[in-house]
Amino acid sequence: MTETRKPKRAYVETYGCQMNISDGELMQGVLADGGYTIVTSPEEADVVLINTCAIREHAETRVLGRVSQLNGLKRERPEMVIGVTGCMAQRMGEKLLEDAPYVDLVMGPDGYRGLADTLSQLETRRAAPAARAGKRGPQLAVLDLSLGENYQGMEQRRGDQPTAWIPIQRGCDHRCTFCIVPYVRGPEKNRSALEVLGEVRGLAASGVTEVTLLGQTVNSYMWDDWTFPRLLSEVARVDGIRRVRFTSPHPNDVSPELVEVMALEPSVCEQLHLPAQSGNNRTLKRMSRRYTVESLLEKVDLVRTAVPDIALSTDIIVAFPGETDTEFRDTLDLMRTVRFDDAFTYKYSPRDGTPATRLPQEQFIDSDVAQARLAELIEVSRGIQGEINAAEVGRLEDVLIERAGRHPGQVLGRTRRNKVVVFDGDVARIGRYARVVLESTSGATFAGSEVEVPAMSGSA
């Protein structure tokens, strides 16, 4: 007699970086292959997976709150499975299972290939008489980090959004002293260039026109004799691909070869994220960033010479242990010198197990000082951003329409330089390109209106 079972429903909720968003798509691919139906809310799901970030303490606190909230749902439906995946799961491991006994599964970033099997294993254990008698359900932890897992041969499950994230590299071989990533994602593992190209061709055939290549230090990619510039130029030439972006590069691997590809390939967007972290050489050294302010500025010159209209963004950490006020002011100077189009700014957050946490206790900076530095940095970087964007009002831009705007009748899209523009338009045109004149800016984003001229490139 064959038992017919209802397909199980799974829900994946993702926090954190683009790599995590891409991992969420990977997990959904594994689950769909394993016979699960993917649903869009935890209320509908038999399996709820929270895909987490560990980069700063705040990211983790937020997730812990969310997980305990989900326990409310589980009280109504005890058969529901709650899994915590990703970097925070890797970092906290078994401790998370102890602290939150209603969590059934923790799984780190190298465990997703076996996700559906692990869930079946959990189900088998739950059905065992011993487990049924116990108060606490069986819990599983999948925390092995792999030297080789690059998820080669596996399909992401993407929505029908017009842009796609393509992971080309996982893990990180750097040891920046503040950063948890190498400990929760393991060493750098690159994916086959041929497979990446095959995936991009497939996406282009299905109508995707914009791809973003992803990796922790994406431009140090190396597979066989494929360097990142070579892969980038091949991806840029795939028929149907109109826009290529990549993130996050390490400044040291911003090479003449890379900027040449950026300058020569029309589909590579005029945009670069260049995480500076600090504008002070002593701090950069103590962060183990392996560049100086001077060499960073040379990279900026290199890129701006090759691609004059490029939009640059950065990441900055304030109040790294031992950072003096004068050293912090060097960071403000760097901001004023480079004039980044956008800056992601953070207060240093100690991460257990990273080298910076072993610095002498007296070097750790009071939170009110850190807060004041952050506020000042934000003011400076927003001021610069506002000036740059105000000077761009009046420009005519190709905009890829990504989604509905906040108000009915409006759509939101991005320019090639990754600036967000809202304008009147029909949501039926999501995925299409429009020629938009930038009419005003809030500082960070633009309002514009579409013009009825045939597009030079990229319109549909």
Alpha helices in 128-280 (DSSP H): 129-133, 181-185, 193-205, 228-236, 256-264
Beta carbon of residue 112, minimum distance to ligand 5AD (angstroms, whole number): 21
Tell which one of 91, 189, 351, 432 touches ligand 5AD (CB under 6 A).
351
Closest-CB residue for ligand 5AD?
Answer: 315
300 Cβ contact partners less than 8 Å away, ≥ 6 residues apart: 274, 312, 338
Concatenating the DSSP letter of every residue in 321-345 gives: TT--HHHHHHHHHHHHHH--SEEEE
331 binding ligand 5AD? (CB under 6 A)? no
| Binding window for ligand 5AD (CB under 6 A); candidates: 2-10, 117-125, 158-166, 347-355 | 347-355
Tell which one of 102, 223, 346, 446 touches ligand 5AD (CB under 6 A).
346
When the beta carbons of 13 and 315 are compared against ligand 5AD, the nearer one is 315
Report the distance separating Cα 358 and Cα 351, nearest Å.
10
Pick out residues in 265-324 that bind ligand 5AD (CB under 6 A): 275, 277, 315, 317
Beta carbon of residue 38, minimum distance to ligand 5AD (angstroms, whole number): 28
| Site pattern 152..181 for ligand 5AD (x: CB under 6 A) | --------------------------xx--
List the one residue out of 316, 319, 237, 334 whose CA is nearest residue 279: 334
Size of the site for ligand 5AD (CB under 6 A): 12
What tokens does 62 get?
A: 């937020």
β-strand pairing of 140-142 with 163-167: unpaired
| Binding window for ligand 5AD (CB under 6 A); candidates: 27-35, 149-157, 209-217, 342-350 | 342-350
348 binding ligand 5AD? (CB under 6 A)? yes
Report the distance separating Cα 427 and Cα 404, nearest Å.
6
| Binding window for ligand 5AD (CB under 6 A); candidates: 133-141, 156-164, 252-260, 345-353 | 345-353
Tell which one of 16, 20, 22, 56 touches ligand 5AD (CB under 6 A).
56
Beta carbon of residue 370, minimum distance to ligand 5AD (angstroms, whole number): 10
375 Cβ contact partners less than 8 Å away, ≥ 6 residues apart: none
When the beta carbons of 20 and 277 are compared against ligand 5AD, the nearer one is 277
The residue type found at 452 is E
The residue type found at 314 is T
Taking phi first (over 0 means left), then psi (-120 to 50 degrees means alpha), and beta for anything else, what does residue 326 get?
Answer: alpha
Beta carbon of residue 312, minimum distance to ligand 5AD (angstroms, whole number): 14
Q: Kindly list the strands in the beta sheet with 271-273, ordered across the sheet, starting from the edge strand earlier in the chain.
A: 271-273, 311-318, 342-347
Phi, psi of 403 (to 5 degrees): -165, 175
Bridge partners, 394 (sequence order): none
Beta carbon of residue 178, minimum distance to ligand 5AD (angstroms, whole number): 4
Tell which one of 349, 371, 410, 459 touches ligand 5AD (CB under 6 A).
349
When the beta carbons of 9 and 290 are compared against ligand 5AD, the nearer one is 290
When the beta carbons of 74 and 250 are compared against ligand 5AD, the nearer one is 250
When the beta carbons of 57 and 424 are compared against ligand 5AD, the nearer one is 57
What tokens does 44 get?
A: 């509908």
209 binding ligand 5AD? (CB under 6 A)? no
Phi, psi of 9 (to 5 degrees): -110, 135
DSSP letter at 112 equals G
151 Cβ contact partners less than 8 Å away, ≥ 6 residues apart: 26, 112, 113, 167, 170, 191
Residues that bind ligand 5AD (CB under 6 A): 55-56, 178-179, 275, 277, 315, 317, 346, 348-349, 351
